[in-house]
Amino acid sequence: MNIEVYPDAPSLAATIAERLSGRIALIQAQGRRPRIVLTGGTIAIDAYRLVESELVDWTQVDFYWGDERYVPAGHADRNDRQAREAFLDRLGVPAESVHAMPAHGCDVSTAEAADHYAAALPAEPFDLVLLGVGPDGHIASLFPGFAQLHESQRRAVQVFDSPKPPPVRISLTFPAINHSEAIWLIVAGEGKAEAVARALGDGTLEDTPASGAHGLTETTWLLDEAAASHLTR
């Protein structure tokens, strides 16, 4: 596990943007099509707005999401819309490479929508999963104390009664999240500091879901000074 601390949120966002482009370029240089899982959240969107690279063929990258608010397509709360506006549309990523989660208003139940998304996920490991961390230690839409934390079979599930609005969501589970070569947990702000300290200390999966995120070959925490302020050094 790696822990990297940057002076402030802008420098963290710039680092994430540069490293994301660099990782994608490296994978393409190896002759493979990258499989990237995106997250929402302020620091992620700030980073996405900075993503630029002429070394990347943006038409040859597959993007997925770790979770999504189950609201209508195009709704301002949707993570996929925010990512499209921040960088996917700007860089010319084609629609067929943007694997958005189902939206409210489709002709199936939330559970069926989650199963449909799980079926569309690649069998091979993701190359990179980006995760934000909430003040309560949640990742994706896997919240402390929720039964979905212990899902061992389904790769995506529905979530009701989310502590954060909107209450209905779809989320990848740990069998999907941890089926990734690399996981980057990106966190900024004093409000996340206690959760970061628990996740990297004595937190449990039940009280701090972020503690359960582990990549197959790499797990990196990318923090600003505020988010790292409760860590023992």
Torsion, Cα 190 194 196 200, to 10 degrees, reads 150
Q: Do residues 138 and 169 touch, judged by C-beta distance below 8 A?
A: no
Q: Do residues 195 and 135 touch, judged by C-beta distance below 8 A?
A: yes
CA-CA distances (angstroms) from residue 133 to 34, 94, 153, 185, 227? 24, 29, 23, 7, 10
**What is residue 73's predicted lDDT score, i.e. its pLDDT?**
84
**What is residue 233's predicted lDDT score, i.e. its pLDDT?**
62
pLDDT digits (tens, 9 = 90+) for 170-217: 999 999 999 999 999 999 999 999 999 999 999 999 999 999 999 999
pTM value is 0.96
Closest listed residue to residue 132, CA positions, set 84, 191, 86, 81? 191
**What is residue 54's predicted lDDT score, i.e. its pLDDT?**
93
Question: What residues are paired with 185 via a beta bridge?
Answer: 131, 221
**pLDDT of residue 124 exceeding 80:** yes
CA-CA distances (angstroms) from residue 188 to 13, 36, 220, 222? 9, 21, 14, 9
Banded model confidence at residue 221, pLDDT cuts 50, 70, 90: very high
pLDDT-above-90 percentage for the chain: 90
Terminal CA-to-CA distance of the chain, rounded, Å? Answer: 15
**Domain topology for 2-169+189-220:** Rossmann fold (3.40.50)
Which two structure tokens, joined as six digits, stand for 156?
Answer: 């995506």
Give domain limits for the chain: 2-169+189-220
pLDDT digits (tens, 9 = 90+) for 82-122: 999 999 999 999 999 999 999 887 677 899 999 999 999 99
Q: Where are the beta strands (DSSP E) in 85-189?
A: 126-131, 156-159, 169-172, 180-187
Q: What is the mean pLDDT of residues 15-32?
A: 98
Q: What is the mean pLDDT of residues 70-82?
A: 89
Q: What is the mean pLDDT of the chain?
A: 96
**What is residue 91's predicted lDDT score, i.e. its pLDDT?**
97
**What is residue 105's predicted lDDT score, i.e. its pLDDT?**
73
**pLDDT of residue 153 exceeding 90:** yes
Question: How far apart, in whole angstroms, are the C-alpha atoms of residue 221 and residue 23?
Answer: 16
